[in-house]
Amino acid sequence: MLSKIITASLAGINPFFIYVETFLSRGLPAFNIIGLPDKIINESKDRIISAIKNSEIEFPVKKIIINLAPAGIKKENIILDLPIAAGILVSMDIVKIKQKSKNYVFLGELSLDGSIKGINGLFPILNLCKNAGIYNIIIPYENLEEAKLIGGLNLISVKNIKDMIEKVNNNYKLIDYHSELTNKIYNRPDYSIDFSDVKGNHHVKRALEIAAAGMHNVIMIGPPGTGKSMLAKRMITIMPELNMEEAIETTTIYSSKGLLSRNTSLVVQRPFRSPHHTSSDISIIGGGRILQCGEISLAHNGILFFDEFPQFKNNVIQALREPMVEGSVTVSRVSGTICFPASFMLIAAMNPCPCGYLGSEKHECRCSLKQIKTYYSKITGPILDRIDIQIEIPQTNFLNYRDEIAENSATLRERIIKVHKIQQLRSKRLTSYYNAYLDTNEIKKFIALDSSSLTLLNKAIDALGLSPRSYFKTLKIARTIADLEGSEKVTSTHISESLQYRILDRNNYFQSDYNINYFNKKFS
């Protein structure tokens, strides 16, 4: 007897339908799965047999052929357990949906005892089903909270095979869940940290406020203990909530990786990812035998923090170049090519040298000239060109600021929210509307410079050796500074402040200023 069951799987974060065709016939008992199944799918045969038997159903002693269509796409997801089992049960006339099979989608992983486990990637799959006009979705009970986010579907949550048979055969229908996205999007999370914890470093906090207002990439250079990591971790507290489109994008990514909370499924706060410097390029960029997104995609619409920036492997740092410009990354492997979203704000922190005390008046630097040059060699020109704001954090006496009442995150966030609204209205985009993402035509349209500003920029190009990309970065930062002041025009004052945040663009910065004097003294 032949049956056809609809299910779905993911290629990266992109969902697609799979048609599970089951044929039971007379002959020597066999259980074959065809249609490019991965090893993990072939292993499902033992789970399915055990699950059906432990559900008090006699497994058919027949020749069983399972075809996974389309046959040209490799199937690599464990969520095909339940659809294959359902196909066998439909062919046995135990599950009765033959005439209605096109209106059902089965999703779930089986345990040996017949219970149904939760799955990854349900959010994008349900969106696919809704857009295709398939409304009856059999899902694991564990995924119900996540599934409720998609309105207009008849969600049939099941705990085990017996439960699934009963609900499908009795045409069980839940009350249609209206989408809860609108209610959950404005639930502001409570943070245990705040910007008011940081005393002093006023110019650094000003630079980070500008970065958050325009989603500009940042690099901070300073000795150990000056607050680089502390400042970076508090950046998320001054960022506005994700809007609806951004929340759906981010939730789709986290669902595909199984990182959604069972209680609060929608990702409402901007991600903050801080991978360790020993991370591989695949874990950062994405890929693997089964193509999955990496840390840069998990930081989409949020912050990617690289502490000890030069300690990361050179291929990891250089792999950031395309995503920082394009806002996405294309991963190609033998198994396929997938484009992952990767629009993030990079915050990088580094010491002035391997030991951290180059140029310090209080500590002796223990590094050789070769060690220092090797340390800086990873921070290449193309990477620096892509980092908008570049600032130094000097070592100061924190006792001078101990009693200071610093501005809190809520106050900073209010100003940044206003600036984000200005940018969205100006660009007329739902996502990626920040100043950091302005293209050349938009820069010409939104940043009209007067003669004094042009003169200042021309002098800066000659004096600092700015590249064309650095020139445009300077204009974007100036546009954000003007937005913070509520100014429609970008003036020479805004340009002047913007240039202060491009210190690494200066010719031979790493062998200039106080560093060259220190080099001459140390190595003479």
Summary mean pLDDT of the chain: 87
What pLDDT does 506 receive?
61
What pLDDT does 300 receive?
96
Least confident among 110-114, 303-307, 455-459, 483-487:
455-459
**412-432 pLDDT per residue, tens:** 999 999 999 999 999 888 778
More confident call, 242 vs 115: 115
Q: In the predicted model, what is the mean pLDDT of residues 241-258?
A: 90
User: Which of 288-292, 341-345, 405-409, 499-503 has the highest average model confidence (pLDDT)?
Assistant: 341-345
DSSP string, 376-414: HHTS-HHHHHT-SEEEE-----GGGGTT--PPPHHHHHH
Q: Does residue 187 carry a pLDDT above 70? A: no
Q: In the predicted model, what is the mean pLDDT of residues 347-362?
A: 88
- Residue count (the chain): 524
Least confident among 305-309, 325-329, 427-431:
427-431
Q: What global pTM score does this model have?
A: 0.88
What pLDDT does 390 receive?
93
What pLDDT does 189 receive?
64
More confident call, 188 vs 22: 22
**87-99 pLDDT per residue, tens:** 999 999 999 886 5
On whether the CB atoms of residues 88 and 60 are closer than 8 A, the answer is: yes
Report the run of H or E that residue 190 belongs to, with start and end.
Answer: none
**48-73 pLDDT per residue, tens:** 999 999 999 999 999 999 999 998 88
What pLDDT does 101 receive?
63
| High-pLDDT (> 90) share of the chain, % | 58
What pLDDT does 208 receive?
96
439-464 burial, b if ≥16 CB within 10 A, otherwise e? eeebbeebbebeeebeebbeebbeeb
Q: Does residue 329 carry a pLDDT above 80? A: yes
Give residue 333's pLDDT band: very low, low, confident or very high (50, 70, 90).
confident
Q: Does residue 138 carry a pLDDT above 80? A: yes
Q: What is the CA radius of gyration of the chain?
A: 28
Query: Could you tell me the end-to-end alpha-carbon distance of the chain, in angstroms, rounded to an integer?
Result: 88
Instruction: In whole angstroms, give the CA distance from residue 246 to residue 429.
Output: 12
Residue 262 exposed, middle or buried by CB count within 10 Å (0-12, 13-18, 19+): exposed
Q: In the predicted model, what is the mean pLDDT of residues 32-41?
A: 89
What pLDDT does 460 receive?
85
The domains found in the chain, sorted by start residue, are 2-179 (3.30.230.10), 195-505 (3.40.50.300)
Please state, as a whole number, how many other Cβ atoms lie within 10 Å of the Cβ of residue 90: 25
